[in-house]
Structure 1
Amino acid sequence: MTHPITDRRRVLTAVALAAVALVSSASVHARDPKEIVIGTSAGPYADQVKLGIKPLLEKKGYKVRLVEFNDYIQPNFALAEGSLDANIFQHSVYLNKFATENRLAISELVKVPTAPIAIYSKRHKTLTEVKEGATVALPNDPTNQARALVMLDQLGWIRLRERFDPVRASERDIAANVRKIRLIPLEAAQLPRSLQDADYAFVNGNYALASGLKLRDALKTEKISDHYANLVAVRTADRDKPFARDIAAAYRSREFLDITNLHFADYAKTDYQLKLAQAQRAQQPASPVR
C-alpha cells in the first residue's frame, strides 16, 4: 500500500497561494488595527468562536470577522500571508509539519477544546462485524492518517511494525493486514460522505459534527493526546501582540469554560480548562451535613 501523495496536492497548494496573495494584497494593509480576522473550518471550531470568543473580544473593543475554509491548506497560507490574524483548525503535529515544509513563520498560541477523531459506520452497529474486504475510509493527510492507523492497530484490524512512531505512522508501517480490510484514503472533508459507501470511516471531529454526526454515535473514539489537541495559530511575530494575548485570554476565561460546558460538553477540555474547573469546584461551599 502506498500513501496517495500526488501532484494534485501541489496544484492545490499553488492555487491556495495565488488566492491568498490576491486577498492579502487587496485587504491586509487597509484593515482596522482593532479588527481581528479569524480563519477556521466550518463546524464546531467556528461555533466556538461565534458563541464564546467573538463576544468576549467585542467587549474589549475588537471587531471580529470569521472566515470559514473547507480544506487544511489555505488557512495556514492565508495566515502567513496576512489575510488572517489567527486560525483554528489544526493540531500541533500538523502545524509544525506544514510550517516546516512550506517555510511559514506561524506558531501555536493556545490550545482549544477538541472533538476527537472517531470511527463511524452507517452499515454496521459494532466493530466486531468487520469482515474480510471491508472498506475503511481514513484521512489522506499524513498526521491524521497516522491517528487512524494507530486506532486500527489498537482494534487488531492491522498490525503496525515494531517501534513505529505513532505520530508519523503511515501505510508503509503496516506489517500485517490482519482482517484484510481495504483502506481508502480521502480528503478529510469527504469522509462524512464516504459513509454512504464505505463500511467504516474515520472522521475528524470538526467534519463529523458539521455533517450532523454525533460523537455519541461513534463506534470508537480516540483518546486525545496533547499532540492532537486543536489550537489557535498566529504569525510567530504576533504571539506577544495585544490582540493575540486577548484571544488567548478569551479561551482561558471562565466565560468560555461555561460555553464549553453548555455547548461542547463531549469535547476534550484543555489543561487550563480542567484546572479552572477544579478551582471552581474548590470554591463551592460544602453541602450542609444533615
Structure 2
Amino acid sequence: MKLTDISRQLATAFAAVGVSSLVLVGCNNSSAPEANKEAVTEGSTAQTAASDIDPEHTKIVIGTTEGDFADMVRNQVKASLEEQGYEVELVPFTDYVRPNLALAEGDLDINIFQHKPYLDTFKKENNLDLVEVFQVPTAPLGIYSGKKSTLNDAYKGMSVSAPNDPSNFARALVMMDDLGWITLKDNIDPLTASKADIADNSKYDIDIIELEAAQLPRARDEVDFAVINGNYATDAGIELTEALFQEPSFAYVNWSAVKSADAGEKWVADVTDAYNSEAFKKYAHDTFPGYKYPKIWDASMATADETAATTTPVEAEAAQ
C-alpha cells in the first residue's frame, strides 16, 4: 500500500467518523496508577476578589499526562488562569487510561492528553459522556534510533518497538508502510490497522515488539528502531529533531476533553481562551519546536512547522 493510498484512506476514514484534522494519543492498557496532585499557588484566587471568572466554578482541576502537556499548564496556562482569578490544580498521570475515568468520575474538570479517535473509542467502550473542546500543540509520533542510527541501517530481521494501544499501533504500522518497510492490505482502515492487516513483511521480516507507550524511550537500546509517542519522547529528554521519520498527517493534533454537561460553561470558555491566547501561542512556538499546532492557529505557522517536522526526502527514499 503506497503513501498516497494511505493518505487517501486516512482522509476518508476521518471524514466517515467526522474527525477530519483532529487529534491523537494512544493508551496503555495497564491498571491506572495514582495521579499526583500538584499544589495550588497560595493565595492565587484570594487576591482577586472581583475578577471576571465563572462564579459557580472558581477552581479548575486539569488532568494531563506527564511531560509537555503538564509543562504547558505549569509554565503558562496555570498562571494565565490564576491572573484571571481562578484557582488551578494540575493532576499529572503516567498512563492513558485513568485521565478519562477520573474526568467522568468528577476528580478532574478537564483533561488534555488524547486524540479524538482514541477519545471516541474509549468513551464508547466505557460508556462515558465526554466531549472534545479545543486542540493543543502536539508532539508527533516518530521513529527513533535504537541499536541502529539511520534508516539506511534497516535490515532483514530487525526489531521495531511500537506503542501497544490499538490507535497508536495502527499509526506505527502506517508509518512503516509509508517507509516501505511493510505493505499493508488494500482498503484497510488506517485508524484501526493491526498485524492482521499486514499484507507483506518479507522485505525486512520485522519483529514488531509492542510495549506500553511510557516504556518505549527506556527500551530503545533493546531494539533496532523505536516508534515513540511525541510526549513520551520529550519527557525522556529526546529532541523531536532526533526522529528519523515523523508521521506527516496533521490529523493527530490532541484535544482537551470535558464532561458533556460542562461544555457550555464559562470556565471552559476561559480555559479555551487561555490555550488560544497570543501569549500561549508565543510560548508554544518558542518552547516546542517541531510540534504540530491547532488548526485554528495561524495557517502559515502550521505550514512552516509541517515542513520542519517531516523527514528528509533522502532518508525516506533510501528506506524504500
TM-score (normalizing by structure 2) = 0.76
Report the CA distance between 1:223 and its aligned residue. 1.8
Match of 2:97 among 67, 70, 73: 73
Pairing 1:209–2:209 present? no
Shift of residue 276, structure 1, vs aligned partner: 9.2
Output the amino acid matched with 1:40: T
1:224–1:62 CA distance, 2 compared to 1 (3 A): farther
State the Cα distance separating 1:122 from its structure 2 match. 3.4
Return closer, same or farther for 1:169/1:260 CA change in 2, 3 Å cut-off: same
1:270 corresponds, among 289, 294, 309, to 294
Shift of 1:225: 2.3
Paired residue for 2:209?
184
Unpaired runs of at least 5, structure 2: 1-27, 38-55, 303-320
Q: Distance in 1 between matches of 2:300 and 2:283?
A: 13
1:123, CA displacement in angstroms? 2.0
Partner in structure 2 of residue 92 of structure 1: 116
Once the two structures are superposed, what CA deviation does each residue of 1:106-130 show, in whole Å capped at 9, x if it has no partner? 1101000110000111322211211
Change over 3 Å in CA distance of 1:255–1:98 after alignment to 2: same
Offset from partner CA, 1:96-152 (integer Å, 9 cap, x none): 110111110111010001100001113222112111111100011000111100000
Q: Give the distance between the partners of 2:64 and 2:284, measured in 1 at CA.
A: 17
- Structure 2 Cα separation of the partners of residues 198 and 241 of structure 1: 47
Aligned AA (2:71)? D
Alignment of 1:1-290 (within 5 A): 9=29, 12=31, 33-177=57-201, 178-226=203-251, 228-275=252-299
For residues 276 and 104 of structure 1, the distance between their equivalents in structure 2, rounded to whole angstroms, comes to 37
CA contact (8 A) 1:191 1:202 kept: yes
Asked if structure 2 preserves the Cα contact closer than 8 Å seen for 1:224 and 1:268, the reply is no
Q: Deviations 1:190-222 (Å, cap 9, x if unpaired)?
A: 110110201111100100000011101111011
| Structure 1 residue 65, shift from structure 2 partner | 0.7
Secondary structure of the 1:192 match is coil
Question: For the Cα contact (< 8 Å) 1:116–1:222, is it kept in 2?
Answer: yes
The structure richer in helix per residue is 1
CA 1:277–1:218 in structure 2 vs 1: closer, same or farther (change >3 Å)? closer
> What does residue 29 of structure 1 align with?
none
Separation in structure 1 between the aligned mates of residue 299 and residue 86 of structure 2, nearest angstrom: 28
Distance, in Å, in 1 between the alignment partners of 2:149 and 2:119 is 35
User: What's the CA shift string for 1:56-92, capped at 9, x where partnerless?
Assistant: 1112111111111111100000000000001111110
Return the offset for 1:242: 1.1
Aligned CA RMSD, in angstroms, stands at 2.0
Separation of aligned partners in 1, 2:78 and 2:125: 32
Q: Is the 8 A contact 1:139 1:202 kept in 2?
A: yes
Report the residue type matching 1:122 in the other structure.
Answer: G
User: Could you tell me whether the CA contact under 8 Å between 2:250 and 2:292 is conserved in 1?
Assistant: no
**Matched positions, count:** 255
Say if 2:172 and 2:227, in contact at 8 Å, map to a contact too: yes
- Deviations along 1:155-182, one digit per CA (max 9) or x if unpaired, are 1111000011111111110011031010
Range moving further from structure 2, 262-271 or 112-121: 262-271
Q: CA, structure 1 residues 106+189, in 2 after alignment: closer, same or farther (shift >3 Å)?
A: same
C-alpha distance in structure 2 between counterparts of 1:277 and 1:154, whole Å: 25
Q: Against the structure 1 CA distance between its residues 87 and 168, is the aligned structure 2 distance closer, same or farther, given a 3 Å change threshold?
A: same
Structure 1 gaps, min length 5: 1-7, 24-31, 279-290
